[in-house]
Amino acid sequence: MIAFIIRRLVILPVIILGVTLITYAMFSLLSPAEQLAAYVSSPTQLHGGTAAVERLIHTYGLDRPIWERYLNWLDNIFHGKLGWSTYANMWVSQAIAAYFPATLELAIYSFIPVIIVGIWLGVLSAVKQNTIIDHLTRIMAILGWGFPSFVLAIFLILIFFGILGWFPPGRLSTWADLVVSNLTSFHFIRYTGLNTIDGILNWRWDITWNAFRHLVGPVFTISFLEWAILLRVMRASMLEVLRQDYVRTARAKGLPERVVIKKHARRNALISAVTVGGLLVLGFFTGGAITETVYNYRGLGYFFVFSATQLDSAAIMGTALVISGGVVLTNLIVDVLYAIIDPRVRLE
Amino acid sequence: MKFIKPHRRTHLRTARPKPQGVFTSRASAYRLRQFQDYLARRRRGLRWLSQRVRRSPLAIIGLVLVLFFSFVALAAPWLAPPPSGARNPYMIPRASFRPYPEPPESAAWRSFPPDWHKHPLGLTGDQYDIYYGIIWGTRTAFRVGFEVTFSIVFVGVLLGALAGFFGKRIDNLIMRVVDIFLSLPALIGAIVLVSFMGKGLNSVIIAFIVFGWPFYARLTRGEVLRVKEVDYVNAARASGASNLRIIFRHILPNAISPVVAAATLDIGSQMVGVATLSFLGLGSPEGYADWGQLASFARNWIVGSAGDPTQYWYVIAFPGIALLLFVLSFALLGDAFQEILDPRMRGEGR
């Protein structure tokens, strides 16, 4: 058990180093002058024309061989210097810290429906295999799996904002945004950065309500795309478990079907559902980036996409590193969890 | 594992058949019979697959949709003839340079194929013709989906098979690289690569290939590990077959079916990935027949005027439906393949 975890921890730095290597390799496709944009923090530094650019290229070592540049950059990264974001007009680390709570809030609220609905429908679909319920669930899963997130988001905005006027895009309405950023007479304290929770803590229920209304659209979009993953795995593993001998034994000793399903089958099927945890997080970042962009929901994904379209290289690399760090961390947690739940894995 | 090959081994072959008819050489007759056996086996396999597909209504829907899209792609010059003097038929013609969309005109549908000059499915925000874009965009969709999927399956299967077969150091090396690539979500990695490589459809395709193959490498490796120690592989090894021959003749054919199912499913979703980047403005140049880009025109025209919120429904509805149906068609087919090829998923008593 311990050995397994240690082995995982040993691989971890290798993977993180590999990700930085890939990221920097992609970055080095740019010319030195373009790369410079990731180092320069104000336009005044560029005063002086070509000579100044040449000098800066030399100062930042951009004319050195690639491995030397990579090591320099790596050194900066480990000291927390991710560079200057021209798009956000602040340091990349500041920008990420500013945008992160929004994405975290989205993630928390998206995972609740995904897990509940995914597990419930997966079990239902397996128990009633090849009935109309199973077919409908599978169609829904395929739809969720295949629906391009940007199309779904636009359809939802058209229906729930355009026609019904319930769930507006954005993160907060203008008046609420003013309150939250302390531009009104009300003294709003940011405890967590999550609007829904800060609203309650400041006893401003109208802010919480407003934040929830803005969250419904993106949350629904992301979870609709995500629960297909969980549902498919849950259905497959449930089908396998239901054919095991211990389930037959449970039935044979006369247990009611409800107990057999809930206590004997579902619990064991849940073990392999843990493995998709990493996939879900991966899907969240992918779907989240698009969803945030379409909904104008200012989170990490939104920041990433907009810096990518404007070639804000420092921001692109910084955000990509943070995202892959999140993925690596989740995979680690999932692996360890899996090893704790399922003793067979440890013997690998 | 290293096997010592006997210096000279006895051949364990049955007598070759007597030459018949036009075949004068015994060897060619033997080859012919081998080939006929092979064809018969193939035919039996295909018949079995087609029976399974026919029994599943979802797979039939998928197949019909795929055929429909293939028809649209092939018949594009007839369904939407490019304007005379157009240099590139993939560039969507603009009705005018006015900035607002125009609704579909039912008069255009009186003849078939409809006359796109009368904009049968309406015009986007910059007056690009939606009908023309969707018809020619089908070709883009197929091209993108197949190019990306074939490349990543090729690379992934090759590396996965190597890792699974040789094990040890090679396996460790390849799988760590796979782990590294997998910790950067494909779409995120593709966005990074495209923004540094320069926008354009080709760089998007390259980016998705770079970040797509690890999935197949992992899948193939798992399957190869499963098949590797089976008796017939050991038999082939004992009879002195080379490593390459064992991989390509004995292991891969028995390990490939989950990969095929996953790849079928993937054609649609890789297309959507590329379309997503076009939607964000990183893909095809403006005006190129690409569904993702067509959908991006809708971003400024989602909600209509105060009295009529669904005024511009057609700007998103048609590209959106095209995208959805295309993914769905391959998803349904792939899902059916998975169900058929994976014995665990089969119902009891079937």
pLDDT band at B348 (very low <50, low <70, confident <90, very high): very low
Nearest CA-CA distance, residue A113 and chain B, Å:
22
Q: pLDDT tens-digit profile of A119-133? A: 888 888 888 877 888
Residue A37 has pLDDT above 70, yes or no: yes
Give the contacts of A345 (CB within 8 A, at least 6 positions apart): A4, A338, A339
Burial of residue B41, with CB atoms counted within 10 A of its CB: 0-12 exposed, 13-18 middle, 19 or more buried: exposed
Cβ contacts (< 8 Å) between B327 and chain A: which residues? 146-148
- Find the residue in B nearest to A148 (Cα): B272
Tell me what pLDDT residue B346 has: 46
CB contact under 8 A, A320 and B309: no
Cβ contacts (< 8 Å) between A160 and chain B: which residues? none
Q: What is the DSSP string of A73-87?
A: HHHHHHTT---EETT
Query: What are the backbone dihedrals phi and psi of residue A145, each rounded to the nearest 5 degrees, phi first?
Result: -70, -35
Segment A17-43 shows an average pLDDT of 80
Burial of residue B60, with CB atoms counted within 10 A of its CB: 0-12 exposed, 13-18 middle, 19 or more buried: middle
Range with lowest mean pLDDT among A42-46, A319-323, B71-75: A42-46
- Which of B50, B73, B124, B51 lies closest to B326 in space, CA to CA? B73
CB contact under 8 A, A324 and B184: yes
- From residue A285, how far is each of A291, A304, A325, B292 by CA, in Å? 10, 11, 12, 20
Give the contacts of A232 (CB within 8 A, at least 6 positions apart): A122, A141, A145
Give the contacts of B237 (CB within 8 A, at least 6 positions apart): B3, B246
Max intra-chain CA distance, chain B:
90
Q: pLDDT tens-digit profile of B127-177? A: 888 888 898 989 999 999 999 999 999 999 999 988 888 878 888 899 889
Q: How far apart are the C-alpha atoms of B208 and B210, rounded to whole Å?
A: 5
Segment A330-336 shows an average pLDDT of 84
- From residue A17, how far is each of A20, A24, B202 by CA, in Å? 5, 11, 28
- Find the residue in A nearest to B342 (Cα): A236
Cis, peptide link before residue A65, omega less than 30° from 0: no
Q: Does A154 contact chain B (CB < 8 Å)?
A: yes
Nearest CA-CA distance, residue A29 and chain B, Å:
6
CB contact under 8 A, A22 and B324: no
CB contact under 8 A, B192 and A138: no
Structural domains present in chain A: 2-90 (no CATH), 98-172+218-347 (1.10.3720.10)
CB contact under 8 A, B276 and A308: no
Amino acid B115 reads D
Max intra-chain CA distance, chain A:
87
Nearest CA-CA distance, residue A135 and chain B, Å:
9
Range with lowest mean pLDDT among A34-38, B221-225, B287-291: A34-38
Range with lowest mean pLDDT among A66-70, B69-73, B273-277: A66-70
Q: pLDDT tens-digit profile of B50-60? A: 777 677 777 88
Say what the pTM is.
Answer: 0.83
Burial of residue A140, with CB atoms counted within 10 A of its CB: 0-12 exposed, 13-18 middle, 19 or more buried: middle
Residue B123 has pLDDT above 90, yes or no: no
Query: Hey, which residues 289-328 in chain B have their CB within 8 Å of chain A?
Result: 292, 295, 298-299, 302-304, 309-310, 313, 316, 319-320, 323-324, 327-328
**Residues paired with residue B102 on neighbouring β-strands, in sequence order:** B123
Q: What ipTM did this prediction achieve?
A: 0.86
Query: What are the backbone dihedrals phi and psi of residue A310, each rounded to the nearest 5 degrees, phi first?
Result: -110, 15
Segment B97-120 shows an average pLDDT of 76
- Find the residue in B nearest to A287 (Cα): B187
pLDDT band at B204 (very low <50, low <70, confident <90, very high): very high
Tell me what pLDDT residue B217 has: 92
Q: pLDDT tens-digit profile of A309-320? A: 888 888 888 888
CB contact under 8 A, A305 and B299: no
In the A/B pair of chains, how many CB contacts fall below 8 A? Answer: 159
Q: Does A18 contact chain B (CB < 8 Å)?
A: yes
